[in-house]
Amino acid sequence: MAADPTNHRPLAGYFSDVTFRSRIPVLLLAVAVALPACRPAFSVRKFPTNEKLYTASLERFEKKKWDDAVTGFEKLTLDLPASDTLLSRSHWYLAKAHTGRAEHLLAAQEYTKLAESFADDSLADDALYESGRSYARLWRRPALDPQYGQLAQVQYRLLITLYPDSPFKPKAEAELKRLDEWFATKDFDTGDGYFRRKAYDSAIIYFRDVVKNYPNTDRARQAMVRMVQAYRSPAMNYREDAREVCATLAELYPTDADVLKACSGMMPAKDSTAVPAKPAP
C-alpha cells in the first residue's frame, strides 16, 4: 500500500525546524550579552551642572562601576573651583574608585592631594590613613624594593603628627609597627644569607642595623642571637663581643629559649649574696 504523503513532513523541513529550536538558547544568550552594550556610555558631557555630574558619578560609584566613577570624579576634580565643598569629596571618591580598579598608586596620589589641599577638611586624616594603606599594598613582600613601604610610613607619621586626636591614630601606629617588622625582616634576611655562607663580618653589619633601627621588633631579638652565634663560631671566636651581646639579651629576654641556648655559659651570673637595698625613708 502506498504511503500517504500528507501524513509526513518533508525531512528537510523537519531538520530545519529542529536546528532553529536548538539555536534559541544561544540566540537568547547573545541578546542578553548585547543589551548592556546597547546602553548609552557614561558621558560627562550630558550633565549640565557639576552638581548633577557629582550625583551621577556617585551613583555609578555605589554600583561599583569604577570606570564611570573615575571618569566623572576626575572631571570634577579638574572643573570644580577650590571653594566648592564637592571638590574634596570628588578627590575622595576618585581615590576610592581607583582602589576599586586596584590602581593603588593612583589612589595613594589622589588621597595625598586631598590631604595636602584640604588640611582642615574632615576627610584629611582619613585621606592620610588611606594613602598609607594604598602605598603599603604596593609593597607585597619584605624582599621587594621597600620604596612604597617608606612612602606608607611617611603618610602614617604625618597623620599622627598633624592629627594627634584622629580616630585613625591607633590604626596608623599599628601599621607603622607592622612596617617596621617588614623593614627589619628585609635586613635580617640579607644578613642571614651572609651568615649561612659564613661571611660573618658582613652578616653582623646587617644584624647591627636591625638592632639599631628596629629595636622594638622581634627581628631585633633574632639578630642579636645570630650575632652571638657568629661571635662564638670557630671562624671568629670573639668571646668578649658575644658576652656583651648576651648581657643585653639576658636583660631584655631572660627566659627566651633561643637566647638561653645561644648564650649558654655566657649569661651573667646572679649575685645571690647581694644585700637587698633598704627602702627609702
Three-state secondary structure call for residue 213: helix
pLDDT at 37: 47
pLDDT at 16: 54
- Rg of the chain (C-alpha set): 33
What is the C-alpha to C-alpha distance for residues 24 and 36, in angstroms, rounded to an integer?
A: 20
Looking at the structure, do residues 148 and 196 belong to the same domain, yes or no? no
Per-residue confidence at 266, pLDDT binned at 50, 70, 90?
confident
Q: Does 182 have pLDDT greater than 70?
A: yes
Looking at the structure, do residues 154 and 198 belong to the same domain, yes or no? no
Looking at the structure, do residues 163 and 221 belong to the same domain, yes or no? no
pLDDT at 13: 56
Q: Does 275 have pLDDT greater than 60?
A: no
* Average pLDDT estimate for 184-192: 98
Tell me which residue of 112, 60, 123 sits closest to 86, measured CA to CA. 123
Three cell numbers, residue 9: 513532513
Looking at the structure, do residues 214 and 144 belong to the same domain, yes or no? no
Looking at the structure, do residues 61 and 134 belong to the same domain, yes or no? yes
Three cell numbers, residue 23: 539555536
Per-residue confidence at 243, pLDDT binned at 50, 70, 90?
very high
**How do residues 111-163 score in pLDDT, each as one tens digit?**
999 999 999 999 999 999 999 999 999 999 999 999 999 999 999 999 999 99
Residue 188 corresponds to which amino acid?
A: F
Percent of the chain's residues with pLDDT above 70: 81
User: Domain holding 234: CATH number?
Assistant: 1.25.40.10
**Residue 278 maps to a domain:** no
Q: Where in the sequence is the domain holding 213, given as residue range(s)?
A: 186-267
* Average pLDDT estimate for 199-206: 98
Three-state secondary structure call for residue 150: helix
Which ranges constitute the DSSP H helices of the chain? 11-38, 50-62, 66-79, 86-100, 104-117, 124-138, 147-162, 169-196, 200-213, 218-231, 239-252, 257-262
**What percent of the chain is helix, strand and coil (3-state, nearest 5)?**
70, 0, 30
Final residue in a domain of this structure, among 135, 167, 199: 167
pLDDT at 39: 54
Residues 6+ apart with CB under 8 A from 113: 91
Number of domains within the chain: 2
Lowest mean pLDDT among 17-21, 43-47, 135-139, 180-184: 17-21
**Residue 204 maps to a domain:** yes
pLDDT at 63: 97
Tell me which residue of 200, 134, 203, 121 sits closest to 162, measured CA to CA. 121
Q: Which residue has the cell 554600583?
A: 63
**Residue 25 maps to a domain:** no
Q: Does 271 have pLDDT greater than 70?
A: no
Looking at the structure, do residues 136 and 60 belong to the same domain, yes or no? yes
Per-residue confidence at 7, pLDDT binned at 50, 70, 90?
low
Per-residue confidence at 24, pLDDT binned at 50, 70, 90?
low
pLDDT at 52: 96
